[in-house]
Amino acid sequence: MKNKVKFEYIPKGVCSMKMVFEIEGKIIKNLEIIGGCPGNTAGVALLVKERNIDEIINMLKGIPCRGRGTSCPDQVSKALEEYKKKYL
């Protein structure tokens, strides 16, 4: 059994202030998004649970929000790319 890693990410250019992941191998076990639009961030957190990080990166990367050039979902993909560089 692989160890769970707690990974924290500070998003840039969005309303959310922090993302806290629990990842086991390449599977997201939990995601808490602090700040941002409550319904959207809660939905994203539930949708990524128990899914492969590469699948989530491909799905969420590049989604814009209000002309910012990024979004909370896009920042999730950026966080997971950073996680891969650090842990995989």
CATH architecture of 4-87: 2-Layer Sandwich (3.30)
pTM of the model: 0.95
Q: Is the dihedral of CA 24, 20, 10, 72 positive or negative?
A: positive
At 1 the pLDDT is 58
Q: How far apart are CA 4 and CA 13, in angstroms?
A: 28
Per-residue pLDDT, averaged over 1-17, amounts to: 93
φ and ψ at residue 7, rounded to 5 degrees: -125, 125
Tens-place pLDDT, residues 10-63: 999 999 999 999 999 999 999 999 999 999 999 999 999 999 999 999 999 999
Nearest Cα neighbor of 47 from 66, 28, 61 is 28
